[in-house]
Structure 1
Amino acid sequence: MMNYDLGKGKYANWVVSDVSFSADTLGKTESIMYLGNGYMGLRSVAEEPYLEETRNLFVAGTFNKFDRNEVTELPNIADITRVNITIDGERFSLEFGSVKNYVKQLNLKTAELIRSFEWKSPKGKELRFNFRRFVSLDNLHLIGMKMEVESLTHPVSIGFDSGIDSQMTNSGVQHFHEGDKRIFDKKFIQLVQTTTESKVDVVLNTAHELSVNGIKVDVEPIMGMDRRKVWLQYSLDLQPGDTLAMEKLTTIHTSRDKEYAAQEYQLELLREKSMENLRTASLKGYENVYKEHVAAWDAKVWNKYNFTVNSEDPFDALALRFAIYHLTVMTPAHDERMGIGAKALSGEGYKGHSFWDTEVFIIPFFIYSNPEVAKSLLKYRYHGLVGARKKAAENGYEGTMYPWEAAWPTDGEVTPIWGAVDIVTGKQTKIWSGFIEQHITADIAFAVWQYYKITNDQEFMNLYGYEIIFDTASFWASRLEWNEQKQEYQINNVVGPDEYKEHVDNNAFTNHMAHFNISLAMKYYEELKGKNPEILEGLESKLKLTDSYKSWEEKLEKIYLPQPRKEDMVIPQDDTYLNKRVIDLEKYKNQSKVGTLFNDYNLEQVNEIQVSKQADIMILFLILENRFSPEVKQANFDYYEPKTLHDSSLSLSTHAILANDLGREELAYSLFRRATEIDLGPAMNSSDHGVHAASLGGIWQSVVLGFGGVRMVDGKLRINPRLPKHWKDLSFTINWQGSKLQLHMDHSTLTITTEKEVSLIIEVFGQKYEVTGETKINYKKQNVEV
């Protein structure tokens, strides 16, 4: 059972807790309490094993393809968390004996996992257990674990074995060759893994330190080694009142580490370096490396972003902190060759692949809060031009056609072809996204533009951005289909953001975004031609821009852009959506589990019903908001939201922001709250396969872009705060064109504090203000005090 009010004092609203153990619902806390630092992610399984557990350790970028008929995925690295414990020679498990005062919790502030409880053995002996664990943000290669066991009532004999177990799979798929194993000095363990196809070397090292009542003890371990596994076995006796402490530190290094992209790689050097890292950490001990880790979180995250939500419901502050925590641990900020998986680094769901989730739902957080990380994520897409151009050519198009699912940037399309069962035919359902869900190409171009306008990073555009925008525009120009009868260009046979509608023609989101992409390319072509022709000349030979521009110019104004109907101002989501069958969706709208529609219909049948998986037109209103009037947004919100089941975790936050824009504050907060409960809600199986990365980005967007009203519109900063009634105030830091702005807002006043000597023009509810230093704007009365 989840609990969110156990954090006290300085940790109030910082602690996510589970206060009742159940061996049948382990996946929830394994996922939402997972630990990471962007380099790696460690699922928060218990030390002792259980049947329903999922032990996952992922290192970003180590993709492998098990077989030619399989899809490349992020492989499950060897497990270092399992500790097989015996009490008086009998296996320890919480399924035996009795448990009280059980708490498993993640402290978001310190990024430490803690699990504690008192346990009475079947023989009546009572012990107190306390487990701690962290994945260092200071040393990206380091994992720390600590186990404390206190005998409360009787003498006990405690035994445990612990080491490195590479008998791990991805749902049965083994991605590694048998590797070298060795134990040094009966203390330091090393195991080497190499992926079967991509030939990535992974070196794991681990070491243990034991103490009783705070005094180090030297216990001679029994060394063990088996196929894909190496460990040490310890045993010792405790008297009542004695406490055993075991510290376990682990380092992980791979041949994919960025440093080896620029220098000659040798496995033996990797082994030596990784072991040296472990020896250095071991000399410091758990507590010292933990303190360095906490200091890194303060410096790199909490003191940097300065978020404060003052709400009558303390859960709101915790939910935002939860989102920022996960946005940090999921993101490979250390290496621009790597993207963000749809399940982050928390589970095997979606195989570690990157989707449009990153550009539309996650990157905005980093653009405003940490632009260097946003740049790294966009450079990942730049490195992916190789695979994207390959996909375009294979499909008969020009330019860059980004894969729907991406892994290593040069891999190209990695979307699986077959999915879940068709309830009517019993066959596997074909996954069409990798073939015809193409809007991601424009989404990436949009993200580049958004980054540029908010950061004013001209160097990025010169080196990377223009090339992405130009080549994606060339794809769309070649993708357009001429309709002779209507004398217009159309985009047919696609999947839009609403994936319950396949093989549709003229999806409004796709068409408008393609138009935006091409018009943006034309704009920048003309600007460069006049102001920076050498950049244009440098790209000419690679992209044939002269010919491309002629094509853009000829086609742009002839692209069909679905417009509001005269009778009700509703924009057709696609050519046939508004003519499809209408059914009663009440039971699906009130479902406790997503996807219940498919208990009654297969995908082919759903395709013929006016029902949507997620926001489609609504996302268009959010990212191209200045193209549509408030009246059109209102009409379409009222039409489409009742037909949207929010079966995608991407949907609720978008609707929350738009509801707030439309003045429907109570609905906006309700939708925001539902978004936070996708992972934090009481359902104990909602996150079994991993956290919902895009939704976590959406939580931040709901707060900052929604309630905080921060938007970039046509390259200008607009701030229209509209806080929920039960929020007293909201504070956070954003970056705007190279300057940091500290924002504080309540229900009447917006306070903006800029860096010294910086003067900015900001729009607040239609009024423009020049702000410098500390500026207070009473946006209720529309006057300003400087």
Structure 2
Amino acid sequence: MTVPGADSLAETFSLNTQTGKEQSTEKVFLSSTHQIYAHHSLVHLMAFSITIRRSAHTGQPITVELRTPFVPKSQDLDLYQGLDFQGAHYVYGTTLVPEVEGGPRPTVHMLWTPVPQALTLCGEEWEQSWEFLTAVAESEEEVKRSYSEGLALIASGSLYSSHTRAWDALWRGCCIDLDGPLPLRQALYGCLYYLLSAIPPRDNPGFLFHGISPGGLSNGTRGEDYWGHVFWDQDTWVFPNILLFYPEAARAILEYRIRMLEGALRNAEEQGYKQGAKFPWESAATGQEVCPEDIYGAQEIHITGDVLMAFEQYYYTTQDQKLFREDGGWKLVVAVAQYWCSRMVWSEEEQCYHIRGVMPPDEYHYQVDNSAYTNALARRSLRFAADIAQDLLIPVPEEWVECANKVKVPFDMEKKYHPEYDGYSPGERVKQADVVLLGFPLMHPMSPEVRRNDLETYEPVTELNGPAMTWSMFAVGWLELKEMQRAQSQLNKCFSNITEPFKIWVENSDGSGAVNFLTGMGGFLQAVLFGYTGFRITKTSLLFNPSCPDDVHKLKVTGVSYLGNKLKFTITKEEIRIKVTESPLDPPALPLEAVLEESGQRFPLGEGQSISLADLGFA
């Protein structure tokens, strides 16, 4: 927006995390606001509004000129111009190159309100608004329906209010409040906002969710934005935060993986394995490997276990057997278990199974044998597969149990730590969080001494400017050990990845990599949601064992979902209070009770009930 004849304009930008983004231009005699928001219930719609307000009565018309750089051209789409629809321009096209040879070529349809060269506020008016719409969808029917719904809301004066109501409902369902440093509170609120912006919409039947990319749909420097592909970032780093508050959105993420299973089965077959599914390092529309560099797709196979760990966390949080019995989840579990068994080779010398020729999460090393993280994850996959088979009354293949029990997880008996892989020498540089993930989220059994040794071994050799989620996991480890200062020093490193003023995360602290890096935000949120609280999702319970740093005097986590119930946790230095805020009857939530681990005391929890562990003599 520009104002003809205006020499000096005060231009401000603001982000309202309740609603959307605004740009304002102010002059003595006027203010104009350009508001942009992705509509939160009409998910194919982007809305724009421009409001001109007269600041002083001049009696003269006020004109604001508009410029848009948009040209309907694309290097990726074969585009055609269609007939205008309800005053909107229309283009549609087909993807030029399928993501895999012979694969589908998705279509894109777009309608947008033409942008005039200028808008004028007449002399007798004090204020006027203009609204513009852009709709993008995969079919002509869907794009026209979305655009028409947007026009109807404009006509009724409720386009923006319907958007804010959808956001209000989302925010009411979850909250993290803490009495602590303002930068920490701002960082947490920003992370929540960007993650909530990326999750599947509620109450949108028929909407197919296509997964969460490390940078969402943001477009960073070419080659650094990951093209919207889906990695382990979704399942390991973002998913647990969403699951804790919105299991229905978490389910949609799992449904994406189920829809991609055929591609994963083909990936395993192409790698020479007769059975099982190998999820791609980079996934898009087919589930086949779309990573531009072969080495990652071939060797970074831990992604398959990362996917199944998300299914495990979901199942133990919800007990939703329908996902597995009827909606394809069991087929995926079987395929992952079969893949791990196919991938293991028996070592006569060590009398255990090996997984050879892999790249661990630490991408500085490749073609290594027995990655500690990969093998521990394979064990966890197989044990979960066996557990859910029993729950579903399905016979458990002996091979699953055998491979789970006898797969090698490297451990140095003398130094009492986990080497990253066979042949790792302490002191070798590490790109990002790897072995530290054994403690969390894998919860691989180990003593506090071993947990400490792993942290102390890898912390000084991990790349300081590496991916943003790394230090959050070191923080969680130190919080487990009640080492508050060491935890805080690790978490503080994350702040160098946050850019001002809108708390956008970059992948690397030097500013390189993906922008709006949801993976880093997910790790940071986990440091609070699973670190400060000590939440752990297990087969039989939601454990908690808080460890808050000295400058956090109070922590409230509202909207925690567990077995159909909604919970509120309030944690201070003096007490831990748990309250059941919702316990639905349709479908019925499973009954809850709080259990003190040391004494075994049990305290029933129903809707509206709360208990304070301090009142029970436990703090």
| TM-score of the two chains, using structure 1 as the length reference | 0.68
Match of 1:690 among 515, 518, 522: 515
Aligned residue in 2 for 1:296: 166
**1:648 counterpart = 2:467:** yes
**1:203 counterpart = 2:109:** yes
Cα distance in structure 2, aligned partners of 1:497 and 1:384: 22
**Could you give the per-residue CA deviations for residues 113-169 of structure 1, whole angstroms, max 9, x where no partner exists?**
1222446xxxxx986443222211132233222224567799787463567934455
Structure 1, unpaired ranges of 5+: 1-47, 49-84, 120-124, 208-229, 257-266, 418-430, 537-544, 583-609
How far 1:474 sits from its partner (Å)?
0.7
Query: In the TM superposition, what are the counterparts of 1:700-715 in structure 2 within 5 Å?
Result: 700-715=525-540
Match of 2:344 among 476, 480, 490: 480
Query: In the TM superposition, what are the counterparts of 1:28-177 in structure 2 within 5 Å?
Result: 85=2, 87=4, 98-100=8-10, 102-109=11-18, 111-118=19-26, 128-149=31-52, 158=63, 160-161=65-66, 165-167=70-72, 169=74, 174-177=75-78
How far 1:524 sits from its partner (Å)?
3.6
Q: In 2, are the aligned partners of 1:192 and 1:203 still within 8 Å (CA)?
A: yes
How far 1:416 sits from its partner (Å)?
0.9
Residues 477-486 or 366-375, more deviating: 477-486
Q: In 2, are the aligned partners of 1:323 and 1:697 still within 8 Å (CA)?
A: yes
Cα distance in structure 1, aligned partners of 2:297 and 2:596: 42
How far 1:103 sits from its partner (Å)?
2.7
**Could you give the per-residue CA deviations for residues 178-224 of structure 1, whole angstroms, max 9, x where no partner exists?**
32244568x543333443345444333334xxxxxxxxxxxxxxxxx
Aligned residue in 1 for 2:187: 319
**Could you give the per-residue CA deviations for residues 757-776 of structure 1, whole angstroms, max 9, x where no partner exists?**
97524455745442414343
Query: In the TM superposition, what are the counterparts of 1:585-734 in structure 2 within 5 Å?
Result: 610-625=428-443, 627-646=445-464, 647-680=466-499, 686=511, 689-731=514-556, 732-734=558-560
Aligned residue in 2 for 1:191: 91
How far 1:527 sits from its partner (Å)?
4.9
Relative distance call for 1:272 and 1:118 in structure 2 (3 A) is closer
Relative distance call for 1:626 and 1:491 in structure 2 (3 A) is closer
Relative distance call for 1:247 and 1:143 in structure 2 (3 A) is farther
Match of 1:760 among 574, 592, 596: 592
Match of 2:231 among 355, 380, 385: 355
Aligned residue in 1 for 2:362: 498
**Could you give the per-residue CA deviations for residues 587-620 of structure 1, whole angstroms, max 9, x where no partner exists?**
xxxxxxxxxxxxxxxxxxxxxxx11111111111
How far 1:251 sits from its partner (Å)?
4.0
Relative distance call for 1:666 and 1:440 in structure 2 (3 A) is same
Aligned residue in 1 for 2:605: 772
Percent sequence identity over aligned pairs: 25
Relative distance call for 1:457 and 1:236 in structure 2 (3 A) is closer
Relative distance call for 1:369 and 1:572 in structure 2 (3 A) is same
How far 1:621 sits from its partner (Å)?
0.9
Relative distance call for 1:642 and 1:687 in structure 2 (3 A) is closer
Aligned residue in 1 for 2:410: 562
How far 1:567 sits from its partner (Å)?
3.0
**1:438 counterpart = 2:314:** no
Q: In 2, are the aligned partners of 1:718 and 1:763 still within 8 Å (CA)?
A: no
| TM-score of the two chains, using structure 2 as the length reference | 0.86
Relative distance call for 1:767 and 1:578 in structure 2 (3 A) is farther
Cα distance in structure 2, aligned partners of 1:162 and 1:98: 19
Amino acid at match of 2:319: N
Relative distance call for 1:164 and 1:763 in structure 2 (3 A) is farther
Cα distance in structure 2, aligned partners of 1:472 and 1:156: 67
The count of corresponding residues between Structure 1 and Structure 2 is 584
Q: In 2, are the aligned partners of 1:718 and 1:762 still within 8 Å (CA)?
A: no
**1:331 counterpart = 2:163:** no
The two structures, once aligned, show a CA RMSD in angstroms of 3.1
**1:749 counterpart = 2:585:** no
Amino acid at match of 1:661: E
Q: Could you say what secondary structure the match of 1:577 adopts?
A: coil
Relative distance call for 1:688 and 1:651 in structure 2 (3 A) is closer
Cα distance in structure 1, aligned partners of 2:29 and 2:363: 54
Cα distance in structure 2, aligned partners of 1:445 and 1:341: 18
Aligned residue in 1 for 2:148: 276
Amino acid at match of 2:415: D
Relative distance call for 1:405 and 1:199 in structure 2 (3 A) is closer
